[in-house]
Structure 1
Amino acid sequence: MLKLRLTRLGSKKNPVYRIAAMESSVKREGNAVAYLGNYYPLEDSKVTLKEEEILTFLQNGAQPTRTVKSLLVKAGVWAKFEESKRK
């Protein structure tokens, strides 16, 4: 199953995360199918996303983790996905 989840980058006590599309059986730092954005929790929760690619993965059945889903909700991407599902 393909999942949208976070992979950790950055140094000690200075985390930076990438939002990645990965198989659920792969380790956190394993090979990703695609990198879809970045999350900087110490910089006022700054998030950069590739919205079109994320929507494509979601429409093809990828499941986001709870944390990634909350980031998508805050950015408004999840609402676009729900709207496209209704059509």
Structure 2
Amino acid sequence: MAVSIRFRRGGRRNRPFFRIVVADSRSPRDGKFIETLGYYDPLPDPEIVKVKEDRMVYWLAQGAIPTKNLKSILRRQGLWAKLVKMAEEEKLKAKSKAQQTEQKTAEPQAEAEVATEQGGNDDRPEDVH
């Protein structure tokens, strides 16, 4: 499932208000979504952007792709570089944690293989003459 981070339009006619949501890329603009990450109000003079940074970082680390317009607005607010840096750190943490658990599971398997090699074929029944 391809996941994107995008706007969901609200408000009334000539008074737009956008929620920043995580949604399946195949769903319609104002359709079903997974999670709300914040909002964007373009009408006040300094436009208002509020984002749950921790959740945005989580979804970026999971591979969610932001739309061009969202990325542009986050850059103007100075948030994009910070979010990308935090997402990269999150990916590295997850990768190192996965490697540690892989090493822990590999050690008992290696010990079991060594034990079977040293023991020979003890499972075979002996010939009785």
Shorter-chain TM-score above 0.5: yes
- Cα displacement (A) at 1:70: 1.3
- Is the 8 Å Cα contact of residues 56 and 83 (structure 2) preserved in structure 1? no
Residues 13-52 of structure 1 aligned to structure 2 (within 5 Å):
13-44=14-45, 45-52=47-54
Question: Taking every aligned residue pair, what percent have the same amino acid on both sides?
Answer: 34
Q: How many residues align?
A: 87
Using CA pairs below 8 Å that are at least 6 residues apart, which structure has the higher relative contact order?
1
Unaligned runs of 5+ in 1: none
Bigger fraction of residues in helix: 2
Aligned-partner SS, 2:16: strand
Residue aligning to 2:79: 77
Cα distance between partner residues in 1 of 2:51 and 2:77 = 8
When the two chains are superposed, the root-mean-square deviation of aligned CA atoms in Å is 1.5
**CA deviation vs aligned residue, 1:4-36 (integer Å, no higher than 9, x gap):** 000100000000000010001000111110010
Bigger fraction of residues in strand: 1
Aligned-partner SS, 1:19: strand
Residue aligning to 1:6: 7
Cα distance between partner residues in 1 of 2:41 and 2:35 = 18
Residue aligning to 2:65: 63
Unaligned runs of 5+ in 2: 93-129
Cα distance between partner residues in 2 of 1:65 and 1:19 = 10
Cα distance between partner residues in 2 of 1:66 and 1:76 = 15
TM-score between the two structures when normalised by the length of structure 2: 0.62
